[in-house]
Amino acid sequence: MSGPATGGAPGGAPVLEVLEAGRGTTVQDLGRPGLAALGVGRSGAADRAALRLANRLVGNPEGHAGLEVTLGGLTLVATAAVTVAVAGAPCSVTVDGRAEPAYSCVRVPAGATVRLGTPSTGLRGYLAVRGGVDVAPVLGSRATDTLAGVGPPPVEAGTRLPVGRPRGPLPDVDLAPVSPPTGGDVRLRVLPGPRLDWCDPGAWAVLLATPWEVSADSDRVGLRLGGAELRRVRDGELPSEGTVPGALQLPPTGRPTLLLADHPVTGGYPVVGVVRSADVDRAAQARPGQRLRFVAG
Amino acid sequence: MRLLDCGDTALLVELADLDEVLALHAALLAAPPPGVVDLVPAARTLLLRTDPEAGADLDGVRRAVLAARPRPGARPDAGHVEVPVRYDGADLEEVGALTGLGARGVVEAHTAAEWTVAFCGFAPGFGYCVGGDDRLHVPRRRDPRTSVPAGSVALAGGFTGVYPRASPGGWQLLGRTDLPVWDLDRDPPALLAPGVRVRFVEVA
């Protein structure tokens, strides 16, 4: 097939054409704060620090939109020369089969194929393109909120993503020294939640003593955790109340759910603990089967 | 009033009832505490969220909440909306039986009352309308539906609301409206935003 899909207008803005989307790829920026009263959550990159880093590496403002890729498998072609960077879960990056480093500024010639492999640790990689992914914003953001159904649709094979106009110079640093997500237990600092008193007095100690395994049902909404059972001492329903990313909600099963970027704006399950905001990015990199350890503080 | 920490970036204010929530929400909307990016009213609580990257000053937020002087009965005033409804919902007869009003009586009570959107949640643009008629207090269905059509007008737990899009739901269905309550091309996109006063009008 030929035509504008593969050629792009001469001198026109580049377009990223997705050949394979992998297991789960969405457009994400830093989300849409300030709309919770209308029932719209913030959403945005699950690992915000990783998206910010990828953007910095290509000289973008940190809030530009990029691609959040789950466990790799993304393949795309650029219709014109672009500069990209990948951060987050460390995966192989190839351009027409040639290996390029992650956490680095990578030049991609027109027509070249970029492929992200499966990361060795962590879950979510972030591909930033110089100029940013320039799909139409929805309510001021290009983030895909998978729960609310707001923002661009999830990326799939055939999706065409326009690239914005670059602004400002490329940074002098072209390789960022970062510590990639750990492959072992993930330690997260947690504070007592507003409804810890819905549990028996020993629940906090159980939360801290238990290794919690991330379940396969986890997604951008939250991590379902398996481990011990936190016993509730109060029955009945809590009237729904506002929630935050990092909240550990306790459904009647007694096994907490750790809320992530696309969490519901309000929830009716008691929140027994809240992960420190600075640690939520690391929680979002935990893979199904990996274990979380909560430490007080 | 009880102030509860909700992690290192948010404060949950627990209040006696919804009237207190709405009054505090109105007071804080008029004078937002520094650093707060989201006020999330709910049935008994108001959540104040700060920007995690900006470095939260929760003590400052706490002081601002304690210093607020909500006027009892005050509600954020956000205008008035009429919602045209065809009262042909699947649960209308059952709500008539549950309330003892009969189907006609339910329609009359639902349309006679003035409702106010207290808060949104569940889905974008789903406004929880309160203050209607105490006789319309019915429980949720024991067996929630896996799909409730968009535009369904429903009742549960003293609230009424309109489903902005097809979704699972456990509320009792009274009827349907063609009025789009959620439209991304509108600013704000939610027709039933907190503080909006609502009247339901029967149409054939």
Domain with CATH 3.30.1360.40 in chain B: 2-67
- Give the range with max mean pLDDT: A8-17, A162-171, A272-281: A272-281
Angle at A182 between CA A177 and CA A185, to 5 degrees: 155
User: What does the pLDDT read at residue A236?
Assistant: 76
Judge whether residue A8 has pLDDT over 50.
no
User: What does the pLDDT read at residue A51?
Assistant: 98
User: What does the pLDDT read at residue A4?
Assistant: 40
pLDDT along chain B (204 residues), means of 10: 96 94 91 92 94 86 95 82 97 96 97 93 90 90 90 94 91 97 89 93 95
Complex prediction ipTM? 0.91
DSSP state of A34: T
User: What does the pLDDT read at residue A151?
Assistant: 96
Q: What percent of chain A has pLDDT over 90?
A: 82
Domain with CATH 2.40.100.10 in chain B: 80-202
Place of tokens 């962590």: A122
CB contacts of A275 in chain B (<8 Å) are 7
User: What does the pLDDT read at residue B33?
Assistant: 92
Nearest to B190 among A39, A276, A277 (CB): A39
* Burial (0-12, 13-18, 19+ Cβ within 10 Å), A212: buried
Place of tokens 């593969």: A6
Question: Are the Cβ atoms of B42 and A242 closer than 8 angstroms?
Answer: yes
| Strand partners for A21 | none
Domains of chain A: 15-162 (no CATH), 186-296 (2.40.100.10)
Q: How far apart are CA A203 and CA A201, in angstroms?
A: 6
Judge whether residue A9 has pLDDT over 60.
no
Residue A79 near residue A110, CB atoms below 8 Å: yes
Interface A–B counts its CB contacts (< 8 A) at 118
Instruction: Of B38, B33, B40, B45, give the one whose Cα is nearest residue B1.
Output: B45
Helix and strand totals (H; E) in chain A: 4, 20
Question: Are the Cβ atoms of B6 and A36 closer than 8 angstroms?
Answer: no
Residue B6 near residue B50, CB atoms below 8 Å: no
Nearest to A242 among B9, B12, B188 (CB): B12
User: What does the pLDDT read at residue B78?
Assistant: 80
- Confidence band (pLDDT; 50, 70, 90) for A11? low
Reduce the DSSP state of residue B108 to 3 states and report it: helix
Closest CA of chain A from B150, distance in Å:
14
Residue A275 near residue A190, CB atoms below 8 Å: yes
- Confidence band (pLDDT; 50, 70, 90) for A6? very low
Closest CA of chain B from A188, distance in Å:
13
- Please state the separation of Cα B93 from the chain's center in Å: 25
Q: How far apart are CA B42 and CA A145, in angstroms?
A: 21
Nearest to B42 among A38, A240, A271 (CB): A240
Question: Are the Cβ atoms of A244 and B10 closer than 8 angstroms?
Answer: yes
- Chain B residue closest in CA terms to A31: B51
Q: How far apart are CA A105 and CA A56, in angstroms?
A: 10
| Strand partners for A248 | A258, A273
Instruction: Of B66, B28, B30, give the one whose Cα is nearest residue B49.
Output: B28
Domain B80-202 belongs to what architecture? Answer: Beta Barrel (2.40)
pLDDT in tens, A22-64: 999 999 999 999 999 899 999 999 999 999 999 999 999 999 9
Q: For residue A25, give both structure tokens.
A: 């790829």
- Confidence band (pLDDT; 50, 70, 90) for A168? confident
Q: How far apart are the first and last CA of chain A?
A: 57
Residue B104 near residue B121, CB atoms below 8 Å: no
User: What does the pLDDT read at residue A7?
Assistant: 45
Angle at B145 between CA B139 and CA B147, to 5 degrees: 135
Mean pLDDT of A219-224: 96
Place of tokens 């999330």: B40
Q: How far apart are CA A231 and CA A253, in angstroms?
A: 9
| CATH number 3.40.50.150 is the correct assignment for the domain at B2-67 | no
DSSP state of A30: S
